[in-house]
């Protein structure tokens, strides 16, 4: 237990260090200081000197009632995500109680707070998932992959749908147009991958003849088994769309509290696009990537949101995510594997 507490403390310290380093970069840029030319210790000193204060100033911009409401929105996305994964596990005949599924999801949420991208905790989620079954470990890992793939597809579809009423916003600015094309490219790639995973009959048959490739064969068979259950796919789709709605709702709450003049349909395309792009494993929890994207997209001529306000929106929303990640650390500390005999 002491080791887990130490690990949790170190990881939480790491994510705050990453946040404060971003604040240090912003301060350096505002004062025309070349951040990259500063010695490492000077960067750390500046980050930890101004970072905590700057973060508190940003968080103080919102009322606690609105922040709590945004927390509930994040909690809804976590719960719906756990439910979706629970359904996918049942589809593979892996019997795990929802309570345990939610617990492992919260552990994944905790590790998502500091691993690369916004989906790094899926690796730990898959590992803990395999501990809940003896005979279907490959299938358990596959459900995590399928859950993430279907979740990403639904988020991209959500963004693509809301691109239509926002075409005048996305096409008037060169950088927004490039981000739109990149998102459409992700959507196309994700669609092809889902089709290949759900209909890879010939490939699955070929791989099944090679013992060393048996895990890949079993993974493809698990994907096909999921794709052949239309009721399940409909439930997963509806859960995913509801989850997406709560993601956008969180930003609607925070933006209204900050007094930002952004329409709901505009946030409905901006938020999913940024979530999908920042899920690419570039920085811990997508820090820096996500904030820069909000500054770029909200700074478009039709919105003209000041960079400081765009950054505040991003960090306040991320604070809600971080609160649930911190809560996940308690699930990590309390976790006890229950292997089946």
Residue 110 in tokens: 């905790």
Dist CA 187 CA 157 (whole Å): 7
Residue pointed to by tokens 């980050």: 47
Average pLDDT, the chain: 82
pLDDT of residue 114: 63
* pLDDT tens for each residue of 285-315: 666 778 788 888 998 888 888 877 887 888 8
Tell me which residue has tokens 């996500």. 290
CA distance 120 to 107: 11
Q: Which residue has the higher pLDDT, 337 or 86?
A: 86
pLDDT in tens, 4-59: 556 556 655 666 676 677 767 776 776 677 778 888 888 888 778 777 776 677 66
Confidence of residue 274 (pLDDT cuts 50, 70, 90): very high
Please give the full DSSP string across 179-234, using - where no structure is assigned. HHHHHHHHHHHHHHHHHHHHS-HHHHHHHTT-GGGHHHHHHHHHHHHHHT-HHHHH
User: Residue written as tokens 């705050």?
Assistant: 16
Confidence of residue 116 (pLDDT cuts 50, 70, 90): low
Q: Which residue has the tokens 């000077």?
A: 42
Q: Which of 95-99, 171-175, 193-197, 211-215 has the lowest mean pLDDT?
A: 211-215
pLDDT at 252: 95
- Residue 335 carries which DSSP code? -
Give me the mean pLDDT over the 54-67 stretch: 77
pTM for the structure as a whole: 0.79
Contact between 301 and 172 under an 8 Å Cβ cutoff? The reply is: yes
Cα pseudo-dihedral 35, 121, 290, 166, rounded to 10: 170
Q: In the predicted model, is pLDDT for residue 124 greater than 60?
A: yes
- Chain-centre distance of CA 198, in angstroms? 24
Distances from the Cα of 282 to the Cαs of 36, 288, 297, 317, in angstroms?
A: 18, 9, 19, 20
The Cα 301–Cα 174 span in angstroms is 11
Rounded-to-integer distance, Cα 151 and Cα 76, Å: 15
Q: Euclidean distance between the first and final Cα of the chain, in Å?
A: 25
Please tell me the distance from the alpha carbon of residue 83 to that of residue 273, in angstroms, as a whole number. 23
| Cα–Cα distance measured from residue 176 to residue 296, given in angstroms and rounded to the nearest whole number | 8
Tokens of 291: 């904030």
Comparing 69 with 174, the larger pLDDT belongs to 69
Task: Compute the distance between CA of residue 221 and CA of residue 300 in angstroms, rounded to an integer.
Answer: 46
What are phi and psi for residue 173, nearest 5 degrees?
-120, 130
Our CA dihedral for 159, 88, 330, 16, rounded to 10 degrees, sits at -30
CA-CA distance, 259 to 188, in Å (whole number)?
36
Listed in sequence order, the DSSP H helices in 31-136 are: 40-59, 64-91, 98-112, 122-130
Q: What is the mean pLDDT of residues 75-88?
A: 95
Reply yes or no on whether the pLDDT at 275 is more than 80: yes
3-state DSSP call for residue 163?
A: helix
Q: Is the pLDDT of residue 98 over 90?
A: yes
Give 213's pLDDT tier (boundaries 50, 70, 90): very low
**pLDDT, tens digit, 9 for 90 and up, residues 127-158:** 888 887 877 888 888 899 999 999 999 999 99
Give rounded-to-5 percent helix, strand, coil for the chain: 80, 0, 20
Average pLDDT over residues 228-255: 94
Confidence bin at 206 (pLDDT 50/70/90): very low
pLDDT of residue 88: 93
Distance CA 74, CA 324 (A): 8
Question: What percent of the chain lies above the pLDDT cut of 70?
Answer: 79
Residue 339 has pLDDT above 80, yes or no: no
């Amino acid at each position: 237990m002491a080791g887990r507490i130490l690990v949790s403390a170190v990881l939480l310290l790491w994510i705050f260090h990453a946040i404060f380093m971003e604040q240090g970069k912003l301060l350096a840029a505002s004062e025309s200081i070349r951040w990259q030319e500063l010695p490492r210790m000077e960067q750390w000193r500046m980050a930890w000197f101004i970072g905590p204060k700057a973060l508190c100033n940003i968080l103080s911009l919102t009322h606690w009632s609105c922040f709590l409401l945004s927390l509930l929105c994040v909690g809804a996305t976590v719960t719906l995500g756990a439910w979706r994964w629970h359904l996918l596990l049942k589809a593979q005949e892996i019997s795990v109680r929802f309570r345990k599924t939610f617990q492992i999801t919260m552990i994944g949420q905790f590790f998502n707070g500091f691993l690369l991208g916004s989906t790094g905790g899926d690796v730990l989620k898959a590992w803990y998932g395999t501990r809940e079954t003896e005979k279907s470990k490959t299938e358990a890992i596959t459900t995590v992959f399928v859950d993430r793939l279907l979740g990403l597809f639904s988020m991209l579809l959500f963004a693509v749908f809301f691109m239509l009423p926002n075409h005048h916003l996305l096409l008037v600015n060169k950088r927004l147009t490039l981000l739109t094309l990149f998102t459409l490219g992700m959507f196309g790639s994700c669609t092809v991958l889902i089709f290949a995973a759900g209909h890879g009959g010939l490939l699955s048959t070929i791989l099944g003849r090679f013992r060393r490739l048996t895990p890949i064969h079993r993974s493809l068979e698990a994907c096909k088994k999921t794709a052949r259950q239309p009721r399940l796919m409909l439930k997963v789709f509806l859960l995913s769309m509801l989850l997406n709605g709560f993601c956008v709702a969180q930003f609607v709450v925070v933006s209204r509290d900050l007094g930002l003049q952004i329409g709901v349909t505009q946030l409905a395309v901006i938020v999913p696009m940024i979530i999908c792009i920042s899920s690419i494993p570039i920085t811990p929890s997508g820090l820096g990537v996500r904030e820069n994207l909000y500054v770029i997209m909200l700074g478009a001529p039709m919105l003209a949101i000041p960079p400081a306000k765009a950054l505040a929106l991003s960090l306040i929303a991320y604070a809600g995510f971080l609160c649930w990640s911190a809560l996940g650390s308690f699930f990590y500390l309390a976790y006890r594997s229950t292997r089946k005999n």
